[in-house]
Structure 1
Amino acid sequence: MPLVHLSDMIGHAYRHNYAVGAFGVGNLHFLEGIMQAAENRRAPVVLNLIESHFENQDFEILMPAVTAAARRAAVPVAINFDHGTSPASAERGIRAGCNGVMVDTSALPFSDNLWQTRDIVAMAHACGITVEGELGYVPGVEGENAKNHPGELAYTSAAEAAGFVERTGVDCLAVSIGTVHGKMKGVPKLDYARLAKIKEAVSVPLVIHGGTGLSDDQFRKLIANGVAKINYYTALADAANRSIRENFTAERKGSHNALLTGVRDAVREEAERCIHLWGSSGRAAEVLAQCRPWHDVEHVVFYNVPATISESEITSILREGRKSLEAIPGVRSISTNRTIQPGGEYRFCLSIRLASKTAIEVFQNHPAQQRFANTHFWPVVTDHITLNLEES
Structure 2
Amino acid sequence: MPLVTTGELITEAAAARTAVPAFNVITLEHVEAVVRGAESAGSSVVLQVSENAVRFRGGHLLPLARAATAAAERAGVPVALHLDHVQDDDLLRGAPDAGFSSVMYDASRLPYEENLAATRAAADWAHARGLWIEAELGQVGGKHGAPPLDAHAPGARTDPGEARAFVADSGVDALAVAIGSAHAMTTRTAALDHALLKRLRAALDVPLVLHGSSGVPDGELRAAVGGGIAKVNIGTALNIALTGAVRQHLAAHPGTVDPRHWLAVGREAMAGTVTRLISVLVGP
TM-score bucket of the superposed structures, by smaller chain: over 0.9
SS in 2 for 1:262: helix
Aligned to 2:5: 5
Q: How far, CA to CA, are the matches of 2:18 and 2:240 in structure 1? A: 25
Structure 1 residue 259: Cα displacement: 2.7
Residue-by-residue CA offset, 1:187-238 (whole Å, 9 max, x unaligned): 2222111111010000011000000121111001111111010110101000
Which amino acid in the other structure matches residue 49 of structure 2?
Answer: L
Hey, what does 2:272 align to over in structure 1?
269
- TM-score if structure 2 supplies the norm length? 0.92
In structure 2, C-alpha distance between the alignment counterparts of 1:45 and 1:280, rounded to whole Å: 14
Flag the structure with higher helix content. Answer: 2
CA distance in 1, matches of 2:270, 2:82: 19
State the partner residue of 1:128: 130
In 2: Cα distance, 1:225 partner to 1:72 partner? 34
What is the correspondence of 1:319-330 to structure 2 with a 5 Å cutoff? none
Change (3 A) 1:44 1:91: same
Residue number among 236, 239, 242 corresponding to 1:240 in the alignment: 242
Q: Indicate conservation of the 8 Å contact 1:18/1:280, yes or no.
A: no
SS at match of 1:261: helix
Match of 1:34 in 2: 34
1:94 pairs, out of 86, 93, 96, with 96
Distance 2:97 2:36 in 1: 26
Match of 2:68 in 1: 66
SS in 1 for 2:185: coil
Structure 1 CA distance for aligned equivalents of residues 218 and 32 of structure 2:
25
Secondary structure at the counterpart of residue 97 of structure 2: helix
3-state secondary structure, aligned to 2:192: coil
Are the structure 2 counterparts of residues 280 and 168 from structure 1 closer, same or farther at C-alpha, using a change threshold of 3 Å?
farther
- Amino acid across the alignment from 1:11: T
**Using the alignment, how far apart are the partners of 1:23 and 1:51 within structure 2?**
14
Query: Compared with structure 1, are the counterparts of its residues 280 and 25 closer, same or farther at alpha carbon in structure 2 (3 Å cutoff)?
Result: farther
> 1:173 is paired with a residue of what secondary structure?
strand
For residues 295-306 of structure 1, the aligned pairs below 5 Å read none
User: What residue identity is the alignment partner of 2:225?
Assistant: I
SS of equivalent residue, structure 1 residue 26: coil
8 Å contact kept, 1:140–1:181: yes
Displacement of 1:122 in angstroms is 0.7
- Cα deviation for residue 269 of structure 1 reads 0.4
Q: State the match for 1:173 in structure 2.
A: 175
Aligned to 1:336: none
Is 1:25 the counterpart of 2:28 in the alignment? no
* Alignment pair present for 1:279 and 2:279: no
Partner in structure 2 of residue 374 of structure 1: none
Q: Helix, strand or coil for the counterpart of 2:77? A: coil
Q: Which amino acid aligns with 2:265?
A: G
Q: Distance in 2 between matches of 1:209 and 1:102?
A: 11
CA–CA distance in structure 2, aligned partners of residues 61 and 226 of structure 1: 35
Partners in 1 of 2:167 and 2:283 — Cα distance?
Answer: 26
The answer on 1:221 being equivalent to 2:207 is: no
How far is the alpha carbon of 1:184 from its aligned partner?
5.4
Work out the CA distance in 1 between the residues paired with 2:186 and 2:39: 31
Displacement of 1:31 in angstroms is 0.6
Determine the C-alpha separation between the residues in 2 that align with 1:44 and 1:90. Answer: 24
**Cα shift at 1:93:** 2.2
CA-based RMSD of the aligned residues comes to 1.9
Shift of residue 69, structure 1, vs aligned partner? 1.2
1:139 counterpart residue number: 141
Contact 1:188 1:213 in 2 (8 A): yes
Gaps of 5+ in 2: none
Partners of 1:89 and 1:103 within 8 A in 2: no
Q: Name the counterpart of 2:16.
A: 16
Q: 1:186 to 1:17 in 2, by over 3 A?
A: closer
* 1:212 partner SS: helix
Q: Distance in 1 between matches of 2:134 and 2:74?
A: 26
Q: Which has the larger radius of gyration?
A: 1
Q: Look up the match of 1:378.
A: none
Alpha carbons of 1:73 and 1:260: their partners in 2 closer, same or farther (altered >3 Å)? closer
* Residue 289 of structure 1: aligned partner: none
Which residue of structure 2 aligns with residue 81 of structure 1? 83
For residue 306 of structure 1, what is the aligned residue in structure 2? none
Q: Equivalences for 1:45-56 in 2 at 5 Å? A: 45-56=45-56
Q: Could you tell me which amino acid in structure 2 is paired with residue 228 of structure 1?
A: A
Q: Is contact 1:2-1:75 (8 Å) kept?
A: no
1:258 and 2:257 equivalent? no
- Show the counterpart of 1:314: none
| Aligned partners of 2:186 and 2:240 also within 8 Å | no
Q: How many Å apart are 1:136 and its aligned residue? A: 0.5
